[in-house]
Structure 1
C-alpha cells in the first residue's frame, strides 16, 4: 500500500496507540438478568409512536420521494410490519494472511440503496444485493488505485464518489498523491466519470476531503480545492495555494460549507464559509475564535461546527443561522462527539464531516454521552439540543450493558443503534421522537458473537441505515491470529422479516 508522502502515515506509532480499543469489551451480565429480560419482552413505557407521528413520517417520506436526482438523499424510515430482523447480507474477506492489526486492509466507505449495499475495499468498490439467503457480489468496480477519500452522502438516485490514488513507481515524485475523482452508480456499479484533480501534488490520504451537495462533487486537500458537475464531470471551479487562507475541507448535503485555515501552524486561525456550489463564491464567513485547534462540520444546513478549543478532543458545538451568525454554543463536557477518532485518530479518508457521536437534524443536534460504568445505571445516553437556543430538548437513555449510538436523522426523529446483551437482549435499531420522548423499535437482531464488539464500536465500524435495513461494515480488515487463513467478516446487514407499510 503506497498511501501518503514519505514517511508513510501508517507507522507503528500511528497504530500502537490505544491498542485496548481493538479488544472486544466484556460486559458482565450478573445482577441484570431481570431488567434485560423485561427489555427482551418489550416491557417498558416508550415503545410505539402515535398515529400522528406516523402520519408526519409518511409526509416526510413523500417529500423525500420528490427529491431531484442530483440532490443529496434524505430518506425517512417507515415502521416495518414486524421488528423481527432477518439477515439480509453477509460477506467475508479472504486472503488476509499478511494483514495484521498493525497492517490492516483498509475498507473505507459504505453506502446503501433499496437494492444494494456497497463498500470500498482497498482499490475497489463492491456491491452486494440486499436479499436474504443471497450471498453473491452483484458487481465490482475496479478503481485502478487505493481509495483516499469517501463521503457518506448519496444522491437521491443512488450515486456517490471516491477519491483514488493511482499506482505509481517507487521513484515517482507523485507517489502517494491522491488526484483522481471517480463518480459512480451504486445500483449498477457503473463508473459515470473520472477526472484528474488540478494542481493536486500535495493531496494525500491524510488531508483529502470529499463531499457531495446538490449537483456538485467537491474536494479539498489544504493546498487546493476543486468542484465538478455531477452530470458531466466538468470542472466548475478550483482554488490553489497562492492565497494565505486555504480550504481544509468541505461539508455537503443540503449546502456547501468550507473549513478555511489561515496562516501557518501552530498559529493557524479558522473560518467557516458558505459557498455557492456552482461557482465557489463565498456567501458568508464565520470567524472561529483564536485558540481553536480543530474544526469539524457535522452539518452544513443547519450550520453546526464541532470545535476543539485548547484540547485534542472536541469541546463545543457552535450553531449558526442561515446567514452565518452565531446562535448558540453547547459545551460538550461529559459528551463524546467522536470527531476525527477513526483509524486511531489519524486523518485518513477525510475527517471534516466525520463526527460519529453527533447527528444533526433540521432543528436538533444529538450528542452521545461518554460511557458510564456505574452499576445499575444506563451505560450512556443521547441528548438533543435545540440548534437555535442551545438548550436541551430531550434525552434518550441507554440501558445497563447496552450502549446507544446516534446514527442519522429520519425526518424530525433520530435513528439509534442500541447494542445487544446476548443472550438476554437483542441489538436494536430504534426510532426516537424527541418531542414526545416516544421510541419505536424498527429492527431487533443478533450480531455475530465473535464480531459484536467491533461491529458495535462507531470508531471502528460504519453503521448504515437505509430503506428498512441496517448494515455493519468494519473499516479495517485484519486476519485472526489464531486462524490466519480464515475469512474475515467485512459486511453484515439485517432487514425486517415482515413487509414494511
Structure 2
C-alpha cells in the first residue's frame, strides 16, 4: 500500500509502513504459529512481574510465569506503573497512614510509611473528611459463603452525577453518555467497511521507558498523551490542533470525561534526569478536551510533602485520585478540594471507579488481614451511599463497572495467569448487597484487571443489559493451525451464563471494547493473512455486524498487531478506529518493524 504522510508538525518519518528498520517493536506481537495464527494471546500479561504484583507467598503459592515478550524494566520508578518490580515482596507491618510518618520519597508504592495504631480486622470503612484546604494470600480452597461478604445500605442516599451506559472500557474515551440510549446504539454499518490508514503518530524519541497512557475522542479531535504533553489531532487528517505541555511525564489518565469534555490526569512535576530518574506521580490536573487547555493542577499532601497518586477517575463533575496513602477528590471545574486523607484514618481509599457513579475501593486492616469495602459514594461530598464488604483476606479488587456495579478479584491468587481475575461480584448500588457471584477461572476466560494500584484498569470486558460480556481463552478452531475464541455473557442477577456466544472465527480473536446502547462493540485481532475488524454484537441475537476491516497488507498488519487491545488503548467511533501505545521506549537494534505512538483507521463507506 502507499504510505500515508505523517501528521503535520511532525518530523519526517522514513519508512512509514515500509520495510523494517533498526528499531525495537513498540509492543511485540506474540510468536506466530505454523503457519502464524495471528493475534495476541489475551491471557498473557505485558508486565514482567507475575500476577500484577501479587506477593510471593511464603507457603509456596504458584507463581505466574513471565510472558515471552514484555517491555524492558525501567531503571527507575517512573514510566508505566505496571512495569515496576513487585512492590509487595516484603509486606509492610502495618497499613499506611499519610500523616503518621514522613513519606519515604517517591519510591515504589511498596514502601508506605507505617502507622502507630493498627486497626481491628473488619472494622467499618468509615467516611471521608470534607476538606477545604487542602498479604496474606487467601487459600485457594475458599468457602463460597466467605467470599460473598456483607452489604450495607445507607438511608441518607444521594445520587450525584449523571449515569452512563456501563462499559469497562469507558465508552469512546470521550464525553459521558446520558444513559438514555440503552436500547439502541449509535454505531451504524457503513456501505463499505473496508478501512484505510488515515495517519500515524510517530513514536517519540526517548532514552528510557516513559508512560503515554491516555486517549480520548471529541467531536473534532483524537486526543492522545505523548511524552510530557497531551495533543489534540484532527480525527481524519492527523493535523495537530493543539498541544498542552506538561512539566513531567503522564502517570495515569481517566478514561471518563464530563459531558462538556473535561477529564483528568496524574503526572510528574518534572522530567526525569540521570541524577533523579523519578520525581513521583504527585500532580493531578484537569484537562479541557474541547478547548485544548489545562484547567488547574493540585497535589495531595502529607505534611509538607506531596503523596504519590496511583489512579485517577472522573464522575459527576468530581476528579477522584487514590493510592497507598489514601484518596482525595477535587471539583473538576475549579480544582476545589472536596475531601482528602486525614491523620486519624485507619482505612484508606486505594482507588476509585468513575463514570456513571463513583465507587471507592476502601482498604481496612493490615496486610494479610485486609478487608476491602466497596463503597458507592456521593461524588460531591464523599458520603457513603452503600457498602459491600468483601471477604477478609482478599487483598486487591478492581472496578469493572460502576453502574451496574461489577467488581473483579483474584481470590486466593487462583487465577494463575496474571490476569488479576478469578471471580466477579455483581453488587446492588443502592443496598450494597451481593446480587451474584461469578466464577471465572483464568484458564477459561481471557479478560484482565489490575487491582494492585490501577483499580479501574480492566480490559476485555463490557457491561450492559444487566450482563457481563467476557472473552474466552483461545482454543483450536475448525481449521488446522488456526486458534479462535468467543465472547460469552453472564447474567448479573443470577451469575449464570445466558447461553449467548459470539464466535471470533478461525484465526481471529474477539475482544469486547465497550457498549453501544444494547450492543457490544468488539475488536477482532486478525490471522496472519487478514486485517483486524471492528464488529457490533447485537445484545439480543448476538448477531455480528462488521463495522470496519483493516487492510490485510503485511506492513499494516504488523503495525496493527503490535498494539494488542490488552496492552494498548483502542477507541472506535463512527467508522474510525484509533489504536495507541501506553508507553514510549528507547529504540533498540533488535527491531522487527517501525514503532508508532498511535494509528488511525477509517472505513471507506
State the TM-score, normalized to the length of structure 2: 0.65
Residues 11-160 of structure 1 correspond to what in structure 2 (within 5 A)? 22-29=28-35, 71=176, 76-82=185-191, 83-96=193-206, 98=207, 103-131=208-236, 134-160=237-263
Is the 8 Å Cα contact of residues 139 and 189 (structure 1) preserved in structure 2?
Answer: yes
SS at match of 1:292: coil
8 Å contact 1:151–1:160 — kept in the other structure?
yes
User: Does the alignment pair 1:272 with 2:374?
Assistant: yes
Of residues 422, 426, 434, the one that matches 1:326 is 434
Q: Which residue of 1 aligns with 2:307?
A: 203
Q: Distance in 1 between matches of 2:595 and 2:586?
A: 7
CA contact (8 A) 1:104 1:476 kept: yes
CA distance in 2 between counterparts of 1:195 and 1:467 reads 35
Unaligned runs of 5+ in 2: 1-24, 39-164, 166-173
Once residues 72 and 198 of structure 1 are traced to their aligned partners in structure 2, the CA distance between those partners, rounded to angstroms, is 33
RMSD of Structure 2 on Structure 1 (CA): 3.1
**Aligned-partner SS, 2:302:** coil
Considering fraction of residues, name the structure with more helix: 1
CA distance in 2 between partners of 1:110 and 1:31 (Å): 29
- Whether the 8 Å contact between 2:211 and 2:582 is mirrored in structure 1 is yes
Tell me by how many angstroms 1:362 deviates: 4.2
**Are 1:468 and 1:496, in contact at CA under 8 Å, matched by a contact in 2?**
yes
Which moved further from structure 2: 468-477 or 247-256?
A: 468-477
Gap change, CA 1:171 and 1:405, over 3 Å in 2 = closer
Give the corresponding residue for 1:48: none
Structure having greater relative contact order (Cα 8 Å, sep ≥ 6) = 2
Question: 1:400: which partner in 2?
Answer: 506
Is 2:456 the counterpart of 1:353?
yes
Shift of residue 197, structure 1, vs aligned partner: 2.7
Alignment of structure 1 residues 58-457 onto 2, 5 Å:
71=176, 76-82=185-191, 83-96=193-206, 98=207, 103-131=208-236, 134-167=237-270, 176-199=279-302, 201=305, 203-204=307-308, 208-311=310-413, 313-322=420-429, 323-333=431-441, 334-340=444-450, 351-373=454-476, 376=479, 379-393=484-498, 394-423=500-529, 425-446=530-551, 448-455=556-563, 457=564
- Answer whether contact 2:265 2:285 (CA < 8 A) is retained: yes
2-side partners of 1:478 and 1:190: how far apart? 26
Q: Is the 8 A contact 2:190 2:547 kept in 1?
A: no
8 Å CA contact 1:89, 1:129 repeated in 2: no
State the match for 1:495 in structure 2: 602
Q: CA deviation at 1:234?
A: 1.6
Give the strand-richer structure, 1 or 2: 1
Instruction: Provide the rounded CA distance (Å) in 2 between the counterparts of 1:267 and 1:236.
Output: 30
2:462–2:470 CA contact under 8 A, matched in 1:
yes
State the partner residue of 2:47: none
Are the structure 2 counterparts of residues 371 and 241 from structure 1 closer, same or farther at C-alpha, using a change threshold of 3 Å? farther
Q: 1:171 to 1:488 in 2, by over 3 A?
A: closer
Contact 1:72 1:153 in 2 (8 A): no
What TM-score results when the alignment is normalised by the length of structure 1? 0.77
1:113/1:467 contact within 8 Å kept: no
How far the C-alpha of 1:331 sits from its partner, in A, is: 0.7
Give the drift of 1:374.
5.8
- Following superposition, the deviation at residue 496 of structure 1 comes to 2.5
3-state SS of 1:231 partner = coil
In structure 2, relative to structure 1, the CA distance for the partners of 1:70 and 1:78 (3 Å cut) is closer
Q: 1:277 to 1:421 in 2, by over 3 A?
A: same
Residues 293 and 81 of structure 1, relative CA distance in 2, 3 Å threshold: same
Contact 1:369–1:383 (Cα < 8 Å) also in 2 = yes
The verdict on how the C-alpha distance between 1:406 and 1:31 changes in structure 2, with shifts beyond 3 A counting, is closer
Q: Report the secondary structure of 2:562's partner residue.
A: helix
- After superposing the two structures, state which structure 1 stretch, 209-218 or 439-448, moved more: 439-448
Partner of 2:85: none
Is the CA contact (8 Å cut-off) linking 1:72 and 1:213 kept in structure 2?
A: no
| 8 Å Cα contact 1:321-1:327 kept in structure 2 | yes
Quick check: 2:268–2:282 contact (8 Å CA) kept in 1? Answer: yes
